[in-house]
A = this chain, B = another copy of it.
Amino acid sequence: MRTDTTFKRAFNDMIDLLRTFDPGAELPSENALRAQLGVSRTTVRKVLASMSARGVIVSEAHGRIMREHPQQIERYPKEETLAISQQVETSFMEWMLRDNACPGTEINEAELARKFGVATTIVREFLNRFQKYGLIEKRQNAGWVFKGFTANFALELFEIREMFEMRSARLFASLPDSSPIWKQVRAMRAAHLELLADIDARFQDFSELDSRFHRLIATVAPNRFVESFQDVIAIVFHYHYQWNKRDERTRNEVAIREHLALIEALESRNIASIDQACRAHLTSARETLLRSIA
């Protein structure tokens, strides 16, 4: 049966939300909370009931009042707030990347389901979605084959990435000053400089910034297929580097500097510089990935 991860996530979020109110304050309506927590009213009511039961809030004639800041209420642990399908993604990635599964390995739905402790339906659904990442292949009336997280995979991935990214980057040259994207570019530069200043402590934050940076570049010429491909890149980098920490700090610092160079090139509107900076970064990222695979 369905897990109540949505409720638990909303419950945790509600704790944070309550911190922004003063003790004794009247809470917003269920509908307002629904919008803020991003869940249905049904779930909001469940959270409210749960909070009431713990005495954090009390129902009055005219609505609900927060009694006190929920200091000692326990949050639900992170794992319990993730839908089973998301947990399966992590489990699978771990199996694939950490256990170093060999190219050509047969993937068995039933076996994975047992190993991960979930229903076969979920594994099946995950594999169907995962297919688009190009790492597995289905065989008629039989299981799947793992094609391997290989150098070849990396090369094919970067071949497409280069096509897509060069196309977007070049478009910046002809973007008018008035385009709102320049503001975002400046903000992006600031975020990079900030991270760079504190690189020793925060180098792990780079992965997410990286993804945001490349997605921003892609937005100049919106295309659903390009966006979908960004998901492929994001998931590969996210999980691969999560379990592959060699030279992480250096690697990220280099990438940040390359990003900054590209930002400068974009702002210069000079096609040649843009080309050069973009290609330099992609080449470097590709080599880094290849080195970590070999």
Please state if B128 and A225 are interface contacts (CB–CB under 8 Å): no
Please state if A160 and B226 are interface contacts (CB–CB under 8 Å): yes
Neighbouring B residues of A132 by C-beta, 8 Å: 131-132, 228
Please state if B225 and A157 are interface contacts (CB–CB under 8 Å): yes
Please state if A160 and B128 are interface contacts (CB–CB under 8 Å): no
State the CA gap A165–B2 with chains docked (Å).
45
State the CA gap A153–B147 with chains docked (Å).
30
State the CA gap A280–B121 with chains docked (Å).
46
CB of A291 closer than 8 Å to a CB of B: no
Neighbouring B residues of A246 by C-beta, 8 Å: none
How many Å from the CB of A2 to the closest CB on chain B?
10
Residue from B128, B226, B229 in contact with A129 in the complex, judged by beta carbons closer than 8 Å: B128
Please state if A160 and B129 are interface contacts (CB–CB under 8 Å): no
Instruction: List 29 A–B pairs whose Cβ atoms lie within 8 Å, in order of A's numbering.
Output: A39-B141, A40-B141, A121-B121, A125-B125, A125-B128, A128-B128, A128-B129, A129-B129, A129-B131, A131-B132, A132-B132, A132-B228, A134-B224, A134-B225, A134-B228, A147-B224, A153-B224, A156-B223, A156-B224, A156-B225, A157-B225, A159-B223, A160-B223, A160-B225, A160-B226, A163-B164, A163-B167, A225-B229, A225-B232
State the CA gap A6–B142 with chains docked (Å).
12
Per assembly, the copies of the chain total: 2
Majority secondary structure of chain A interface residues (helix, strand, loop or mixed): helix
CB of A124 closer than 8 Å to a CB of B: yes
Residue from B125, B160, B223, B225 in contact with A124 in the complex, judged by beta carbons closer than 8 Å: B125
State the CA gap A147–B232 with chains docked (Å).
21
State the CA gap A121–B124 with chains docked (Å).
10
How many Å from the CB of A128 to the closest CB on chain B?
5
Neighbouring B residues of A125 by C-beta, 8 Å: 124-125, 128
Instruction: Give A1-43 as 1s and 0s: 1 = Cβ < 8 Å from B's Cβ atoms.
Output: 0000010000000000000000000000000000000011000
Neighbouring B residues of A229 by C-beta, 8 Å: 225
Q: Pick the 8 closest A-B CB pairs, nearest first.
A: A134-B224, A132-B132, A156-B223, A128-B128, A160-B225, A128-B129, A163-B163, A156-B224
Neighbouring B residues of A232 by C-beta, 8 Å: 225
Neighbouring B residues of A153 by C-beta, 8 Å: 224
The chain B residue sitting closest to A138, CB to CB, is B129
Neighbouring B residues of A160 by C-beta, 8 Å: 223, 225-226
